[in-house]
Amino acid sequence: MAIALAVALLSTGASAVASPPASDPSPAAARPGLAPAGAGGTYLDEEGNVLSMRGQDADLAAGSALLLGCTPGNGADNPHYTLPDVSGHGTYVKGTCTNNTANVYNCLYEWYTDGTWRRKSCSSTVTVTAGGGAGNRSNARHVCHSTSQLVSWRNHEDVDVIGEIDDSNQPSRDADLYCVVN
């Protein structure tokens, strides 16, 4: 039976070698790719350690109790390509907070086919006033090693409102870009 199958495959030009699955779960085989809609996933730092994304994704999906304090709005912009880099900014949007200044930083994550978001770059922490604008925001950047493949990126920001208790939400925005970081 196996010989007949092999002869049939060869005569039709088909390959007897199985194709690898589209999403190989092993970390070594993982590569940058497109995230499914609404992708949560695990967050990893540059060394592959799992990061806690306080209040984000799984915690929110599970309906965790709202933390005390005000909630800044989402000041993260979409990750974008700025020759030759992937870039993302963080700004302070007051939301339910009342103070006018905050310490803000943001980090860029690239999606991998094993269901992880891998951190590629973080900005320094900057003190900004509400409203954003050039010079009034944080900026994370990383050089693209290739622009031949469309890959999902996420820009997370963290806001610490000065003189006011704020929740630990880390809002984010996603975009697909022709930028691969190895």
CB 63 within 8 A of CB 138: no
**Residue 42: is its pLDDT beyond 90?**
yes
CA 27 to CA 114: how far, in whole Å? 6
Look at 34-43, 63-72, 87-96, 98-107 and tell me which has the smallest mean pLDDT.
63-72
Token pair of 20 as six digits: 């690898």
Q: What is the pLDDT of residues 160-172, one digit of tens each?
A: 999 999 988 889 9
Q: State the pLDDT at residue 10.
A: 34
- The residues spanned by each domain of the chain are 39-180
39-180, CATH topology level: Immunoglobulin-like (2.60.40)
Instruction: Identify the pLDDT of residue 105.
Output: 96
Residue 149 pLDDT more than 50?
yes
- State both tokens at 6: 């092999």
Cα separation, 163 vs 98, whole angstroms? 10
